[in-house]
Amino acid sequence: MKGALASLVALLAAPAGAQLRVADPSPAPLPLADESLLAFGTAKTRMTVPVTIAGSGPWNFVVDTGAERTVIARELAGVLGLPASSDVRVTAMTGTVAVPTVILPALSTGTIAHAAIQAPTLAMRDLGALGLLGIDALQDRSVSIDFDHQRMTLRMAHRRGGHVAAAADEIVVVARSRFGQLIVTDARCRGTRIAVVVDTGSPVTIGNPALLRALAHGARPLGPLQLTSVTGGMLVTDAFALDALEIGGVPLRDVRVAVADAPPFRRFGIDARPALLLGMDVLRLFRTVQIDFANREIRFLLPRGRIAPLPPGLR
């Protein structure tokens, strides 16, 4: 099992040499529209949407809910003649490195526009796309991914006083926020509570060593797996099949996971406890996935006849 492209899970906006906990504030989105409906394509099993930069494009960017910052391919930045900015430190699957940035003077997806964004630049061959659309472009939004119809809806997410009840074929999980990412704690594997980060930028699901230690005999070895980081680094790890993963009371069987002691787990503060970065391979098991950053909740619409919630007495 080789050639899988790992996500740029955490992007730090700290100047090179600064402490990793320091981050530049993300630019606020311009309130030009309340909703945008986008058809999406794929880039090596990930999800892409058309993005316009300073009126040029559209260019296909991978939607990456695991990345703090929007990233642009170095080659595209050169073609557009974007102005250079200061270096930043980027944390990816294989470590933290300093990379140059450029200023995106205006970025829009459909009818939704954003103010200027400082974007790290990386090689297109490592990104596997022309860019990544990160949380700085998705903040205060609700992102609904409809796998049945291959489309994504972006809406302004207004904070509510409470949570809307789930439909009969839907599960809702409440998350906590860490550097913009939503970390789900209502998940278990063989009775062990685990932390889950929804990462649409990764084609594969990645677990940390603490997860493997907690499962003991509940993980079936599948062999070595080679991951390529978006910063160009290579990571050789082992893949396993989990016989019982449960999210919000819904059991998922035979989930394939690459296990790696990856820096993003430490970045999110979940390296010491069993944790997963939930990639597109598992997300596509659901009909729709809605990520509401403002209200810190994630909704999963169950496939017809494929997955049923566990009865409350058996959880």
pLDDT, one tens digit per residue, over 18-62 is 322 222 333 333 333 466 777 777 666 778 888 899 888 889 888
Stronger pLDDT, 2 or 98, i.e. the higher one: 98
More confident residue, 105 or 5: 105
Cβ–Cβ < 8 Å for 214, 189: yes
pLDDT score, position 102? 95
- Give the mean pLDDT of 169-190: 74
Does the pTM surpass 0.75? The reply is yes
Domain extent at residue 67: 4-16+34-153
Residues forming a β-bridge with 108: 52, 113
In a domain, 211, yes or no: yes
On the question of pLDDT at 81 being above 90, the answer is: yes
89 pLDDT more than 80: yes
Q: Based on the domain organization, do 176 and 308 belong to the same domain?
A: yes
For 283, what's the count of Cα atoms within 13 Å in the CB-facing half-sphere? 31
pLDDT of 218 strictly over 80 = no
158 occurs within a structural domain: no
Which CATH number characterizes residue 179's domain?
2.40.70.10
Q: What is the mean pLDDT of residues 214-235?
A: 83
Contact 209, 261 (CB under 8 A): yes
Q: Where are the beta strands (DSSP E) in 165-217?
A: 170-178, 181-189, 192-198, 206-207
Task: State whether 308 and 178 are in the same domain.
Answer: yes
Same structural domain, 84 and 176: no
Decide if 7 contacts 199 (C-beta within 8 A).
yes
Cα–chain center distance at 263: 15
Q: Is residue 27 part of a domain?
A: no
Residue 68 lies in a domain: yes
Residue 247 lies in a domain: yes
Name which of 24-28, 115-119, 170-174 the model is least confident about.
24-28
Q: Do both 224 and 255 map to the same domain?
A: yes
Per-residue pLDDT band for 100 (boundaries 50, 70, 90) equals very high
Question: Do residues 234 and 225 touch, judged by C-beta distance below 8 A?
Answer: no
Residue 163: pLDDT over 80: no
* pLDDT at residue number 119: 93
* Residue 9 in this model has a pLDDT that exceeds 50: no
Report yes or no: 30 and 133 within 8 Å, Cβ to Cβ. Answer: no
Whole-number Å distance between alpha carbons of 274 and 188: 9
- Cβ-proximal residues to 124 (8 Å cutoff; 6+ apart), any chain: 73, 74, 75, 76, 130
**Residue 136 and residue 117 in contact, taking contact as beta carbons nearer than 8 Å:** yes
Residue 128 has pLDDT above 90, yes or no: no
Q: Residue 292: how many CB atoms within 10 A of its CB?
A: 25
Confirm whether 121 is domain-assigned.
Answer: yes
Rounded to an integer, the average pLDDT of 204-227 is 86
Query: How much is the average pLDDT of 279-306?
Result: 82
Tell which of 153, 180, 203 closes a domain.
153
Question: How much is the pLDDT for 84?
Answer: 93
What mean pLDDT value characterizes the chain? 77
Do 252 and 226 share a structural domain?
yes
User: Are residues 89 and 180 located together in one domain of the fold?
Assistant: no
* Structure confidence at residue 82 (pLDDT): 94
194 SS3 class = strand
pLDDT score for 6 = 40
CA–CA separation, 116 and 22 (whole Å)? 20
**Both 10 and 134 in a single domain?**
yes
Of 219 and 22, the one with more pLDDT: 219
Peptide bond into 15 cis (omega under 30): no
Whether 183 and 144 share a structural domain? no
Report yes or no on 115 lying in a domain: yes
Regarding whether 288 and 227 lie in a shared domain, the answer is yes
Residue 133 lies in a domain: yes
pLDDT of 305 strictly over 70: no
pLDDT confidence tier of residue 104, bands split at 50, 70 and 90: very high
Q: Count how many domains the chain has.
A: 2
How far apart (Å, rounded) are the C-alpha atoms in residues 156 and 31? 9
Stronger pLDDT, 99 or 14, i.e. the higher one = 99
DSSP string, 154-172: EEE----SS-PPPPTTEEE
Q: What pLDDT does 244 receive?
A: 79
Q: 152-177: string of b/e by CB count within 10 Å (b at 16+)?
A: bbbbebeeeeeeeebeeebbbbebee
* pLDDT tops 60 at residue 285: yes
Same domain, 174 and 85: no
pLDDT confidence bin for 206, thresholds 50/70/90: very high
Mark whether 148 and 172 lie in a shared domain: no
Closest CA to 271 of 172, 190, 178, 204: 178
Among residues 153, 177, 206, the one where a domain terminates is: 153
pLDDT digits (tens, 9 = 90+) for 230-270: 888 888 889 998 877 888 777 888 889 999 988 888 888 88
Q: Which of 153, 187, 213 is the last residue of a domain?
A: 153
Residues 171 and 266 in one domain: yes
The per-type count for the chain, helices as H runs and strands as E runs, is 5, 27
